[in-house]
Chain A
Amino acid sequence: MNSGRVHPREDQVAELTRGQSLPLAPLRETHLIFIAEILRRAWNDLLVDRHSILLSGGESEVNALVETRLNALLEEDKLWSLLVRDVARGKETISYDGSHLENGLTCPSILPIEAPHSR
C-alpha cells in the first residue's frame, strides 16, 4: 500500500460504528455434533471414574465434575482445544434482546475460541 492508495475505508468505519450484530450466527451442525461427542466422552469418562457421584450427586456437583472433565479434555484433545478455549459454569442470562431468560442455570457453558461470524 502506498500513499496514492491511502484513503478512507468507509466499510471499516461502518463496522466500527455498527458493533456486534445480535443475535450471533448459529453454530454449524458439524461443530454441534463434535461438541455433543465430547460431552458424551466426558460423561463416559466420569461414569468410569466417578460413578457413584453421578448416580447420587446433586445437579451442581455433577455439573462441576463435567466442567472439570471438559476442561481437562482441552489438554488431551487437540481438536477440542482448536475449537474451545474454556468451559465454565453458566448462569442465568438475559437474551440479547431482553425477551427471555436463558435456561442456562448451572449448566456448563462453552466459550468458543472464535465467536463465529461471517467474513
Chain B
Amino acid sequence: MLHNVGDDNGSLPSLSLGSLGSRVGETHSGQYDLVIGNPPWASGTGLPDWSQVVERVAGIARTRIRLETAPKLPNEVLDLPFVWRAMEWARPGGQIAFALHARLLFQQGEGMSEERSTLFSALNVTGVVNGAEIRHTKVWPQISAPFCLLFARNELPPPGAGFRFVSPRLEDSLNSAGGLRVDANNAEMISSGQVIQRPEILKILFRGSPLDLEVYDRLMSRRLKTLDELWRERFGENRGRPRFAGNGYQKLRKSSRIRKRGDGQPGVSASYLGGLPELPPDAMRSLLVDVSQLPAFSLPRIHDPRPRELFHGPLLVVQKSPPALAGRIRVRVADDDLVFNETYYGYSANRHPDGKLFVRYLAMLLGSKFALWHALITSGEFGFEREVVEKFIIDSIPIPPLEDLKSSDREEMDRLFEAVVREDTETAWASVDAWVISQYGLRERDLQVIADTLNFNLPFADNRNAAQAIPTHQEIADFCSALSLELRPWTQRAGKEIDVLPVILPVVSPWELVRVGNTHTSSKLATNQGWPEILRVADRLAATEITHPDPATGSLWLARLNQARYWSRSQARLVARRIAWEHTEFLSGLAVK
C-alpha cells in the first residue's frame, strides 16, 4: 500500500509530487496484484516538478508501446499520470481500477483525444462505468464533476480486445438512495481499436446509441466540409481565425484593461457601433429579424474591439445556449447591419455573392434538429460538462455545398424559410428537419433516431425528466408496432407472422412487459409465469431488460424498465436486432411447439 508519501504538512496543499514522484521507486515495480485509487482530478496545478511526471510517464509508455510522441497529459491533469504509474506498480496481468475525471472519455480538444488513444493502446481496458450523467446525485455525494470508473488488466490489449462501456442513467429514486444501475448486459461492447482510432466514439455512444453511430458513420462517409472549412475557403482568415465570423461584443467589465496606446480608459470606445440596431438577448423570436423594430446600440465602451465587418448584413446570428424547450439551436437571420452581444455568435455573409441566400441556407441547417444532434454526440463539452454550444462545435458541423443544391431544393428551401418566418412553430420546423436530413443523404428513419436521442438525452432538466417518465400507452403501442415491423422480414422468411402486444403485469412494478409471438398471440399473461419472482431477480441484478423465450406458449417475453427512454421507436429497432441475433430459433419457429 502506498500511503502518505507526500510531504503535506496538514495546513497548505502540498506542491510535492507525492506518489507520482521519485519517493515511490523501483522497489514497487510489478509488486501489486491490484492497484486501485481515486487520484486527484485537478488540472493546471502548475506543480514545480511537473516535468518529472511527464518524463516518468513517457518512460513507462515507451516500454509498452511504440510512440512517436510521449503521452501529452494535457492541461497537466493529475489523475492520468496515476494510471500510467499503476502500469508500473501492478504485476503483469494485474488488476487496475481507478476513479477518474470523465474528460478522459469525452474531451476532444487540447490533446485529450491523443491521450485517450495512447492510454487505450497501452492498457487492456476491460470496463468503463461512465458517471457523467449521475454527477450531482447521492451516488457520489458532493461530486459535481463528471467522473468515470476505469477497470483494466495490466497488459497490452490483445487483438480483438474490447470493454463494456456502461453509462448509468439518471434515475432519481434510485440515485437519491445512493444507488446506480450497472447493467453490463445492456452495455455497449467497444473494442480498444475503436477508441484508439475514433476519438468521438465514446461520446456518440454516451449521448446516443449504436443507431446514432450508424447515422454518424453514413454522414461521415460523404466527406463533407465543415462550416469552418467552407467559411475559411470562402472568406479567408485573419490571424488564424475565419473572417467575418465570431462572438458578439462583451460589455465593459472590471477586468477590462487599459490599453498602452489607447485613450487611457478601460476597454475600447464603441462609437463605431453607435446607432446600429442591436439584437437584445430576448429578441430571438422571429427567424427573420426586422431591424427597424430594434433599439439602437448605445454603449460608450466595450471590453474588446470587434471588427465592424462582423456586424454587416446579411447576417446569421446563433444563440449560444439552446433553449431547453426548443430542442434545437436558435438561429436568426438579418438582412441588414445589426449589433449582437456575447450571448450570440455571428456569421456575416456580406462578401458572399449571394449572401442572403447563403445565410438562409445556413439558418435552415443550423436551426434543424440535425445540427443540435451533431453537437450533442460529438462535442467534448456540450452534453458533458456544459449546456452551451461552443462556436467551434457549430463550426465543426458538416455543410453540404450550397452550390450543389438543385433548383427544386432551392425553391423548397425558400418555401420552408418563409413558412418559419410566418409561423415559428415546431410544425414548420419539422418540415425543415425533414428537408435538411435529405440534404445530408439521410433517411426518415434516421430523423427518428435523431429525434429520440434529443428527446431523451439532451442535458436539460425537461429531457432528463422525460427520459425517466413512465411511458404512455401510446408510446408502448408505438414501440410494439415498430418492433413487430422490424422483426417481420425474419419471421416471414420462416413463413410465420408476428405480433407484439403489451401485457398487463399482475403486480405494481417498475417494469413493462410485452409479448412477442404469432398473430394469435394473446395480451393476457400466462398464469404459470412467475413474473413477480422474475422481476424481483432482475431488479436484484440491476438489469434493465429481460428476454425470456417461452416455447410452451410460442412467445418471447420482453420486459423493460418502465422509463420512457426504453420505449422509443429507436429502442424497438435495437431490441429487434438483439432478438434477430440471439433468438433466431424462436423467430424461425424451430423451438416453438
Q: Which residues of A contact B (CB under 8 A)?
A: 1-3, 5-6, 9, 11-13, 15-20, 22-24, 28, 30-31, 77-79, 82-83, 85-86, 93-98, 112-117, 119
* A6 to B97 CA separation, bound complex (whole angstroms): 22
* A96 to B585 CA separation, bound complex (whole angstroms): 28
Is B421 an interface residue, CB under 8 A from the partner? no
| Cβ A17 vs Cβ B185 within 8 A | no
- Rounded to whole Å, the gap between the CB of B319 and the closest CB of chain A is 35
- Rounded to whole Å, the gap between the CB of B496 and the closest CB of chain A is 14
B150-190 CB contact bits vs A (8 Å, 1 = yes)? 01010000111111101000000110011101111100010
**Residue B214 contacts which of A15, A85, A94, A95 (CB distance < 8 angstroms)?**
A85
| Cβ A20 vs Cβ B161 within 8 A | yes
Which residue on chain A has the smallest CB distance to residue B129?
Answer: A16
| Cβ B541 vs Cβ A19 within 8 A | no
Is B6 an interface residue, CB under 8 A from the partner? no
For residue B127, which residues in chain A have a CB less than 8 angstroms away from its CB? 15-19
For residue A93, which residues in chain B have a CB less than 8 angstroms away from its CB? 159
| Cβ A5 vs Cβ B151 within 8 A | no
For residue B128, which residues in chain A have a CB less than 8 angstroms away from its CB? 16
Is B486 an interface residue, CB under 8 A from the partner? yes
- Rounded to whole Å, the gap between the CB of A67 and the closest CB of chain B is 12
Q: Which residues of B contact A (CB under 8 A)?
A: 95, 97, 124-129, 149, 151, 153, 158-164, 166, 173-174, 177-179, 181-185, 189, 191, 210, 214, 217, 486-490, 493, 510, 539-542, 547, 576-578, 580-582, 584-585, 588
- Rounded to whole Å, the gap between the CB of A19 and the closest CB of chain B is 3
| Cβ A78 vs Cβ B489 within 8 A | yes
| Cβ A83 vs Cβ B182 within 8 A | no
* A9 to B540 CA separation, bound complex (whole angstroms): 8
For residue B584, which residues in chain A have a CB less than 8 angstroms away from its CB? 28, 30-31
* A93 to B334 CA separation, bound complex (whole angstroms): 55
| Cβ A115 vs Cβ B189 within 8 A | yes
* A13 to B95 CA separation, bound complex (whole angstroms): 12
| Cβ A18 vs Cβ B126 within 8 A | yes
Which residue on chain A has the smallest CB distance to residue B126?
Answer: A19
**Residue B184 contacts which of A16, A24, A86, A98 (CB distance < 8 angstroms)?**
A16
A-B contact pairs, 14 of them (CB 8 A): A2-B177, A9-B182, A11-B541, A12-B541, A13-B182, A16-B166, A17-B153, A20-B191, A24-B160, A28-B584, A86-B217, A96-B159, A98-B158, A98-B159
**Residue A6 contacts which of B179, B183, B191, B487 (CB distance < 8 angstroms)?**
B179
- Rounded to whole Å, the gap between the CB of A119 and the closest CB of chain B is 6
**Residue B582 contacts which of A2, A16, A98, A119 (CB distance < 8 angstroms)?**
A119
For residue A9, which residues in chain B have a CB less than 8 angstroms away from its CB? 182, 540-542
| Cβ B493 vs Cβ A17 within 8 A | no
**Residue B580 contacts which of A83, A94, A98 (CB distance < 8 angstroms)?**
A83
Question: Contacts A6-B178, A116-B582; is A16 near B126 (CB within 8 Å)?
Answer: yes
| Cβ A5 vs Cβ B158 within 8 A | no
| Cβ B151 vs Cβ A17 within 8 A | yes
Which of A22, A23, A78 gathers most chain B CB within 10 Å? A78
